[in-house]
Amino acid sequence: EPEVTQTPSHQVTQMGQEVILRCVPISNHLYFYWYRQILGQKVEFLVSFYNNEISEKSEIFDDQFSVERPDGSNFTLKIRSTKLEDSAMYFCASSGGGPSRNTIYFGEGSWLTVV
Amino acid sequence: AQSVTQLDSQVPVFEEAPVELRCNYSSSVSVYLFWYVQYPNQGLQLLLKYLSGSTLVKGINGFEAEFNKSQTSFHLRKPSVHISDTAEYFCAVSDYGGATNKLIFGTGTLLAVQP
């Protein structure tokens, strides 16, 4: 069964450093997403990406965040200057086109710890 | 704005007993509904979904859920649970026909199956 893959599975970084989280969505999917889950809290939507541009972003997704699909297979989330409160599990997700776009598949997540 | 309420943060149950995990939603438009499961130290796995048609939907691992529009509920049920069902279960909703089909999640219910 095709799956969304994410790297790294866990990253520890110092406050103020830049972090890039990588994702390979399911092949042939057209919609891409990032969600995050702070420990003990609900899963929150960050951003959706379609046709090489952001289609929607949440209030959490401020100027320190950016997304990119650099080569047609990878989908990355960059956090420019990490803060302690960015510590969370970050989930990449994807969905297909047409009616399939409503069924979203998630990756295993990338744990980010900011110290 | 949409919201999802999972009133039970934790549901303890004995193995082979039936279980129901409750989910209520609030939305001014028609919705799609989902249940995701998160096993310890793993990502989010789609358990089942309601997009249209029959209000009783069946998912993986013997789970089912019933969409009740009048009560704005989408409760998850299983007639006989196993130890391996111990996990966090998340109910989620997205807009019917929304531009980005982003998911709004509930806070999750920890299903703790005891021998």
Question: In this structure, which amino acid lies at residue A91?
Answer: F
Pair type for strands B109-114 and B44-50: unpaired
pLDDT value at residue B97: 66
| SS3 labels along B40-56 | CCCCEEEEEEECCCCCE
Mutate to test the interface with B, among A5, A36, A43 (most CBs of B within 10 A): A43
> Dmax over Cα atoms in chain A, in whole Å?
42
pLDDT digit of tens for each residue in chain A (115 aa)?
A: 679 999 999 999 999 999 999 999 999 899 999 999 999 889 999 999 999 999 999 999 999 999 999 887 899 999 999 999 999 999 999 999 888 888 899 999 999 999 9
Mutate to test the interface with B, among A34, A67, A106, A111 (most CBs of B within 10 A): A106
Whole-number Cα distances in Å, A1 to A7, B18, B106? 19, 29, 27
Q: Is the pLDDT of residue B96 over 80?
A: no
A35 in Cβ contact with A93 (< 8 Å): yes
B46 in Cβ contact with A105 (< 8 Å): yes
From chain A, the residues in CB contact with B100 under 8 A are 31, 48, 50, 55-56
Question: In this structure, which amino acid lies at residue A61?
Answer: F
The DSSP secondary structure of A6-36, one letter per residue, reads EE-SEEEE-TT--EEEEEEPPTT--EEEEEE
**What number of other Cβ atoms are within 10 A of residue A69's Cβ?**
16
With 0-12 / 13-18 / 19 or more C-beta atoms within 10 angstroms meaning exposed / middle / buried, residue B105 is: buried
Residues A45, B104: C-beta atoms closer than 8 Å = yes
- Banded model confidence at residue B52, pLDDT cuts 50, 70, 90: confident
